[in-house]
Structure 1
């Protein structure tokens, strides 16, 4: 299925009409956010007990691909913020009830362990700086990984390694500062944030492990690694489909160039057709792996999880390569930063740098 089939045309119009202003401002715009709140897309993975959608993984991944197809920055922000809100399945139930029922809930955060949490009574003193928190400018809460300290000593886990645990902070307790200076994903607002000498109660700390899930549902037992791999790969796929869609009119315009020979024209058309088939075949295999793993990840036999990891990487690779093979033939307009096709190209080459799917 083409990603557009999961979105109403009016939704796509709202998203795309705001893209130029969002790119300039470095964050999503009010009309885009209003749509996100109305549809509850930031709450893809929030437990139903806290007014979330709690979608099954196959449905959620397909929707995230569709949103990335509509716009790379918006799809990326939804994916990462909804992914952070998945932590609601592991939060203290009383705290989660208090903070996650907000209709404008948006979790942002970073997976880097660049902060410390020093034990203090029934809580912790937090200090740290974290980079690249997509969606931070409209977040209601931010999450961060911290190295646990007891005085000046680092607390070790069962393996003798530093104990690292995630925390959730209210937006008012966090200082944002500009740090996103990259060529693509310009509207994600992926800026840095800092926390200084902040005391938080122990309920603000949680563990991402099925053993510690507060909500008893398959979504919170599915491994975080494969969930992250699949959702990021779907974003790259959505970007690639959008780029291939734009290649159609770009190539049609190039056909009017009198300097192109008939064999050259035929080569360009065939290249687009071949890349479209290749990408869609890879997408189909990817979704087959995702669907299988969702129904079998808790079985004693083949869980399908390794195949999700493999197909996520194959889809990411096919997405990047299809865009690069076609870009050369799109004409000079594809190098103009004011054009839609260039914006999608820049988004692909920025999102494609994510370390999780590099190899």
Structure 2
């Protein structure tokens, strides 16, 4: 049987991998990706994966964008994370008016980023909003031309509500020059993502530069009916890529390291063999589950609105995938022994990176409660799915 060649963008991600891996320590030291790496990622098209074809994007199937992000993350977690943020934010194009979409994505070199969490306040005024807010985790903000911030809509200083207990929110596009970036990213892991705080103070945003993912997209293509939640399928792609790298690193180490007291290679130790087997099975199983759900959900999106059950399945697969990847990394890190603690060993970076990724709200443990509730027949308490 002849194997199919990978999509050109996936092939590029795989080809780029060794060069990204070789510079991981540099990314960590700088606490952001260097301009030449960002430029290479931009030229390749990684930030345009989910932008509509009408605006020069690639409009990739979510299973393919998942694999691309996974491949970059296997090479370097920070590079994969930054590509994920830029690509996912590009989804917003489908909710913008045609004129604004063409304004924001006026060039193939444009990079967008930001934070969807509604931590700002958007006061209704004539023609738009006056926005003030500060958002942490603004990954790769230094390289962005436009940044998105989530905000609660207020009128007369008071929040507006879409229904009892649920405030009205908007995502708002700010040009980079309107945003102040604060250098706060002194983190345990994903150090090279530059995920400091972004802040705006009383910035006017036109009505047509604001949107809500709870509203139907203007572009009614299947990709934009897929319930991304901006990051729901992308964070586990990063996590599973990191986990695969960790398994690779243990295999390489185990084939080279001699355990002096046992007079044999580390690879011959039964506990190491068991750790590799368990980690490999856990990553492959979680990945298969997630890809199965991505394909099923996308198929549903081609036929009409995606059901709440499908949305819950997607979020469950994403949360499970991230947590399974973390368990796999923990296994191989422990099996590696003392060498894994040194900065010269990539395993310690995998360990730190994946435990940082698990802290993101989009894959946090409370989502298991919400998705489990849907499976048991309860309505989700918040519009999280």
Q: Does 1:104 align with 2:109?
A: yes
Aligned to 1:250: 253
Residue correspondence of structure 1 range 162-181 to structure 2 within 5 A:
162-181=167-186
Q: Does 1:316 align with 2:322?
A: yes
**TM-score, normalised by the number of residues in structure 1:** 0.91
CA deviation string 1:133-186 (max 9, x = no partner): 111010111101112122223222244532111100000010001111211101
Deviates more, 1:5-14 or 1:268-277: 5-14
Task: Count matched residues.
Answer: 354
Q: Is the 8 A contact 1:209 1:221 kept in 2?
A: no
Match of 2:76 among 66, 71, 86: 71
Aligned to 1:344: 350
Match of 1:237 among 215, 240, 247: 240
Q: Secondary structure at 1:242's aligned position in 2?
A: helix
Match of 1:146 among 145, 148, 151: 151
Q: Is the 8 A contact 1:250 1:331 kept in 2?
A: no
Q: Is the 8 A contact 2:129 2:204 kept in 1?
A: yes
Q: Secondary structure at 2:295's aligned position in 1?
A: helix
Q: Is the 8 A contact 1:131 1:192 kept in 2?
A: yes
Q: How far apart, CA to CA, are the structure 2 residues paired with 1:62 and 1:185?
A: 19
Q: Does 1:82 align with 2:87?
A: yes
Offset, 1:244: 0.2
Name the CA shift for 1:274/1:125 in 2 (closer, same or farther; >3 Å).
Answer: closer
Aligned to 1:11: 16
Q: Secondary structure at 1:129's aligned position in 2?
A: strand
Q: How far apart, CA to CA, are the structure 2 residues paired with 1:200 and 1:294?
A: 33
Q: Is the 8 A contact 2:181 2:197 kept in 1?
A: yes
Offset, 1:301: 9.8
Q: Is the 8 A contact 1:184 1:347 kept in 2?
A: yes
Aligned to 2:371: none
Gaps of 5+ in 1: none
Offset, 1:300: 8.4
Q: How far apart, CA to CA, are the structure 2 residues paired with 1:65 and 1:158?
A: 38
Q: Is the 8 A contact 2:333 2:348 kept in 1?
A: no
Q: How far apart, CA to CA, are the structure 1 residues paired with 2:156 and 2:356?
A: 40
Aligned to 1:281: 285
What is the alpha-carbon root mean square deviation over aligned residues? Answer: 2.3
Offset, 1:71: 0.9
Aligned to 2:376: none
Q: Secondary structure at 1:229's aligned position in 2?
A: coil
Q: How far apart, CA to CA, are the structure 2 residues paired with 1:335 and 1:288?
A: 36
